[in-house]
Structure 1
Amino acid sequence: YPLLAAPTCKTEDATDMEKILAHMIQCWSTSGAAVSVGPIWSFATDGDVTHRAAGHRLFLKAPLSEDSPLYGSLINLTGLNLFTGEGEVTLDFDFKHIFKCKSFFSQRASCLKFHAGICTLIRSPAGIVLNNGRVINSMVLLCYLVWLPAYDEEAVVKLLYPDVPQDVPRAMELMQAIIEFCKHQQHTINDSFSTDIDTHADLNSIALLSALIESILLPFIDVTMSLSDQMKSLSCYSHLAFTFFHAHRCSFMSYQLYYDIQTTVKNAFFCLAKQQCLDPHAPFFLGDDPLELLFSRTHMIGGHNSAFSYAQALDRIGAAKDIDSVFKRRPELDPGHRRLKLTQQEGVDHINRGLWKGDITAGHCDLPFSWCLGHESALAILSKSQLDPIHYSFTDLFNSGEIDMLHPFGENKYLGINTDD
């Protein structure tokens, strides 16, 4: 249901966007849509700095009420941030955008600033620090990924230095290559008597990177995972990222990227809890394929004319929804999309619930148990690292109530909201 289509010159600030979003949500409720269609559960953005700030103000206003039907389940997820907006609406970020490059224009500074996604972070010369100050960047990965049988130097270069940084399938392939590399090198990584100290240190750091990537990537692309496995994996990511950020701060990743991904994980747990209250027998799917299809069909209608006016955009969105309606009534007429086929590498960019094979019945997932299993998985990984255990003493860190996944250093301060962060 497209609710609002508005042109922008990117001069709106967070206050302007906050008013627009608040008005839209109010209209949804007053029009009766909240009753006939359903209440709004979350607001998702691609990480635009203005949207992030506005969303933060609107959807992290107050802690979850003890009277909420969600409270009994979510309060047992130690470390999870429980702040929501009115009506328990939570903030979310498109997972594909956090895997790639993001940018925004700072009017005050009159310049273009880049906030790296995971792959842009890995590909950058500055790289990422996870273990004992060891930097993993594109040059380091180029040296090691060529060890994979399926990749020669030319193929690895294409992964690390793509022509289009926004290419999601290429980003997915890079992350999967890192995961596959660590599986191939598991014996070498576990060999504590290796005489090549530098190589062993690199491999240990890449192994941590692989574990981090695997825990956030697979829940969205591994169609065999059950919902319980997905939530366990997201919990593992949340604990790993918290630890690395607590130890290395911006040397690990930017404040903005840390905030975005932790918020995405938080929203997944909140929305699943809502689904369990609404109908525990219904499936719960992580993903936004309908939005991707609407965008692609809107773009397709223009043919070779990819540019269009505001009026044309409205017409095309309406036509795209008409096409959707036809295909929903007569699915046999839908020719599909080549990128929906999992036999092709780029298929992971457009996975939908119809392709999912694992058990994703909402009521079959025990949220506190999955969160706890993710916590234990993270501890098993971190205990093999050279990090000071103080950074992953989760019980001690979270007991005060001042520190959680979005407040890694307490002081009631959210990182990544101000453009200066």
Structure 2
Amino acid sequence: MTPYICISLSLSKQLLRLSTAAHIVLALYHHDSARTCFIPNPLYIDIMLMIKNAYFCVAKVQVDNPGSNWFLISMGTDSLESIFSVVQTMVGNDANADVLQLAQRLSHYVEVTNIIAEHPRWDRGLRHLHVTALGPDMKPADDVDHINAASWCGDTCIDCVNLRACWLKG
């Protein structure tokens, strides 16, 4: 979890920690001869794909947009979860929707988003997406309410990352 919640980590250190996690998970998974006692197969695959995806995203940005900043936390699904939480609560007790209803609800979501953009003080924010950030001393950062790109203070410059070195050190 540290690569995602320690706001002072550089992108290189985040990738190094993800590499370490991948190697530890692989070793424990390989040691488990039944392949079911440590973690279920789908969870193992999800963890490895998430780490691979992080490395691939950094590589793509290094090629497509050198000199830019990139945030590991941007790979999350917060925005998608927030859209569906709003869409689901729009209709009260009818939480399920067919394609037509979903299209109508998403168009209403766009209208709500436009209204909130005009009147930001009306937005109470999301309540269940809050994670306590860790500061440079690995203690909870009290001044950070929700981890986002603006709250990140670690070096996120894509040019400072050597993917091979991060993987091998991990």
TM-score by length of 2: 0.74
1:37-93 CA distances to partner (integer Å, 9 max, x unpaired)? Answer: xxxxxxxxxxxxxxxxxxxxxxxxxxxxxxxxxxxxxxxxxxxxxxxxxxxxxxxxx
- CA drift at 1:239: 1.0
Asked if residue 292 in structure 1 is aligned to residue 88 in structure 2, the reply is no
Q: CA deviation at 1:361?
A: 2.6
**Contact 1:289–1:351, Cα closer than 8 Å, also in 2:** no
Give the counterpart of 1:231 among 15, 20, 26: 15
When structure 1 is superposed on structure 2, of 303-312 and 291-300 the one drifting more is: 303-312
CA contact (8 A) 2:11 2:155 kept: yes
Q: How does 1:235-250 map to 2 (within 5 A)?
A: 235-249=19-33, 250=35
**CA contact 1:294–1:321 (8 Å) conserved in 2:** no
Task: Say if 1:276 and 1:322 are closer, same or farther in 2 by CA, change over 3 A.
Answer: farther
Please state how far the C-alpha of 1:334 moved relative to its aligned partner. 3.5
1:219 match: 3
For 1:341-380, list aligned pairs within 5 A: 341-342=130-131, 351-374=147-170
Q: How does 1:303-382 map to 2 (within 5 A)?
A: 303-325=92-114, 327=116, 334-342=123-131, 351-374=147-170
Greater RCO, CA 8 A, separation 6+ = 2
- List gaps (5 residues or longer) in structure 2: 134-139, 141-145
Distance 1:327 1:363, change over 3 A: farther
User: How large is the Cα RMSD of the aligned pairs?
Assistant: 2.8
Residue 276 (str. 1) matches residue 72 (str. 2): no
Question: Matched residue of 1:358: which SS?
Answer: coil
* Partner deviation per Cα, 1:349-384 (whole Å, 9 max, x = no partner): x7433443322232232212211221xxxxxxxxxx
5+ unaligned residues in a row in structure 1: which ranges? 1-216, 375-421
User: Could you tell me how far apart the structure 2 residues matched to 1:289 and 1:372 are?
Assistant: 30
Aligned to 1:258: 44
**Structure ID, larger Rg:** 1
TM-score where L is the length of structure 1: 0.33
Going from structure 1 to structure 2, the CA distance change for 1:324 and 1:227 (only over 3 Å counts) comes to: farther
Counterpart-to-counterpart distance in 1, 2:57 and 2:117: 25
Return closer, same or farther for 1:285/1:329 CA change in 2, 3 Å cut-off: farther
Is residue 294–residue 320 contact of structure 1 (8 Å, CA) maintained in 2?
yes
